[in-house]
Amino acid sequence: MDARSERNAVPLAVDLDGTLIATDLLWESLFLLLRRKPYCLFLLPFWLLGGKARLKCAIAERVELDPAGLPYRQDLLARLREDKAEGRHIVLATAAPKKFAEAVAAHLGVFDSVISTEPGRNMASRIKREALVSVFGDGGFDYAGNSRADVAVFDAARRAVVVAPDRAAARWHKANGGELFAGEKPTLKTYVKMLRAHQWLKNTLIFVPLILNHDYLDPHMMALGFLAFVAFSFAASAIYILNDFFDLALDRRHPTKSKRPFASGVLSIPFGFAAMIGLLVVSVVTATFLPPLFGAVLFAYLVATTAYSLSIKRMLLIDVLTLAGLYTLRILAGSAATGIGVSFWLLAFSVFFFLSLALVKRYVELRSTELSIGERIAGRGYRTEDQEVIAQAGMASAFSSAMVLALYIESSAVRELYERPWLIWPLCPIVLYITIRMWVLARRNEMHDDPIVFIISDWRSQLIGGFGAFLLFYAGL
């Protein structure tokens, strides 16, 4: 008997969470439940009092999970299909609730039976070991697992298949051997993507009141602005992580968002949750060094962005108006941190300019999604026939922002602040160039789905924007 025939003569039990899929269905289903039924947050402690099995089953009863959208480990799945084709008996042995386990088994079609969690019995660690030994005998099966909870099962198996192991499973494999499927390792780029550090560029709006008041050479004022920037950036990253948790299923259907760290399973949800709490703590601690009014603005930002992640992002037009408001809120945060007042003109310009950018984002999403007439884009309130209205509204917002800027340039406030106010006039065509060019490229399908990323990577926008900043600086000398 060759090695493959010998291997296939013994049943193979396969763990689900972290092993067959690069995620944990308890966390996935929890955030899916909270997105659809937020009030269930208050029921979680009562379910947990009944044990972890009760918690898992209670959540599973209230949500529907799409097994086709899960991040399967393709190398392991290919191996299972190969073994199945050669007649091997394969069992899905998982701590996931029965409803989810059977759905995955039915979708894949490679499992002969399912052993899973039911009310009163959490099929993990020693309980799973006892269940498998009772069916196949001690050493009568091979087992594929990935975590500390699987070590007890490895000890009872004839051979271990260690998949993307955590530290405990890796130590066991080093000491005892067995087959190894390494899995994808996170890199520095992975953590940067988790934080969405490129989005911190938005928080430079905090410095706008300071710059327009010509206080950019004052070390104390710049220090206040920097602290506010750090607080907002860390808070923003925390909310981006939370947003990723709520959008896991939707992100996996998207051609680029499916590569995000949590959607792809490169980073675990528990790690992300811990990172989110840490980021919020740093943000709040940093805010304590600033005036109380800044803390109030930061709190409003956290409430608004959380509401956006939970619900507002699926509301027609309310979502883009909220995004424009969040940009403007950053300017107000800079004002609160430094004590510098902001004018009506600045706030009005901000609302119209950033509304245009938010509408570009939605327009690109509509253009890049293949939908039939009458179908909504996943997770949004828009349909494919809305494209023209969105484009018209976005262009109108761009021209409105330039009009507000022109009125501001002619105001008495500008003549008081700038020695050469006539040098500021080119800012109007500069604003129109940047915004209209984005809309032209969006209609050509040559636009990134995030306008901030586009501006960062587009040398023309950077050159024109830098020229406008120089004019603004020189006009005040």
User: What is the DSSP track for 355-388?
Assistant: HHHHHHHHHHHHHHS---TTPBPTTSS-BGGGHH
Digit-coded pLDDT (tens) for 326-351 = 999 999 999 999 998 888 888 899 89
Coil, strand or helix: which one is 157? Answer: coil
Give me the sign of the Cα torsion angle 129, 133, 139, 143.
negative
Question: Is the Cβ–Cβ distance between 433 and 443 less than 8 Å?
Answer: no
- pLDDT attached to residue 3: 58
What phi and psi values does residue 14 have, to the nearest 5 degrees?
A: -125, 125
Q: What angle do CA 346, 351, 352 make, to 5 degrees?
A: 100
Please report, to the nearest 10 degrees, the dihedral formed by the alpha carbons of residues 364, 369, 370, 371 taken in order: -90
DSSP secondary-structure letter at 93?
A: E
What phi and psi values does residue 97 have, to the nearest 5 degrees?
A: -65, 155
Coil, strand or helix: which one is 29? Answer: helix
Structural tokens at position 259: 């590569």
- pLDDT attached to residue 378: 64
In the chain, DSSP finds a helix count (H) and a strand count (E) of 23, 6
- pLDDT attached to residue 355: 93
β-bridge pairing 142-145 and 12-14: parallel
Choose among 360, 299, 352: nearest CA to 327: 352
Taking the C-alpha atoms of residue 117 and residue 420, their distance in angstroms, rounded to an integer, is 74
Residues in the chain, total = 477
What phi and psi values does residue 343 have, to the nearest 5 degrees?
A: -85, 160
Choose among 160, 110, 170: nearest CA to 10: 160
Please report, to the nearest 10 degrees, the dihedral formed by the alpha carbons of residues 342, 345, 351, 353 taken in order: -120
Taking the C-alpha atoms of residue 60 and residue 33, their distance in angstroms, rounded to an integer, is 9
Digit-coded pLDDT (tens) for 230-263 = 999 999 999 999 999 988 888 888 778 888 999 9
Question: Which amino acid appears at position 275 of this protein?
Answer: A
Q: Which residues of the chain have pLDDT under 70?
A: 1-8, 371-375, 377-379, 449, 476-477
